[in-house]
Amino acid sequence: AQSVTQLGSHVSVSEGALVLLRCNYSSSVPPYLFWYVQYPNQGLQLLLKYTTGATLVKGINGFEAEFKKSETSFHLTKPSAHMSDAAEYFCAVTPYNQGGKLIFGQGTELSVKP
């Protein structure tokens, strides 16, 4: 069965520091990959997605992620953290042959210190 693993349930960075949130998936074929963000008391909002083509994907709010097939990874990065980036982040995959369903990782809560 497909699965998604996010390394670290909590990540804390200082304002201005690099943000790196890790995501690995298990799949025999490349799936579609997504990162969602959830701000307190809100629903999930799409940050970025990889479907086909360029493996470095840019999203909203300065985030980007790189699909690495050989490592089955889709890590999320942002060069300089802002206080407003504090939220929970979810990596998700759509299995290639099960169109429509999303499988989510357990989430990573990002804290940003002043």
28/42 with CB nearer other proteins = 42
| Nearest C-alpha neighbor of 1 from the set 98, 74, 108 | 98
Report the Cα 80 to chain-centroid distance in Å. Answer: 16
Q: Does 7 sit near other proteins (CB under 8 A)?
A: no
From candidates 67, 90, 110, 112, binder to other proteins by CB under 8 A? 90
Count of alpha carbons within 13 Å of 90, Cβ hemisphere only?
16
Minimum CB distance to other proteins, residue 28 (Å): 19
6/73 with CB nearer other proteins = 6
**Window 33 to 52, contacts with other proteins (CB under 8 A):** 34, 36, 42-46, 49, 51
13/47 with CB nearer other proteins = 47
Q: Which residues of the chain form contacts with other proteins (CB under 8 A)?
A: 4, 9, 32, 34, 36, 42-46, 49, 51, 90, 94, 99-102, 104-107
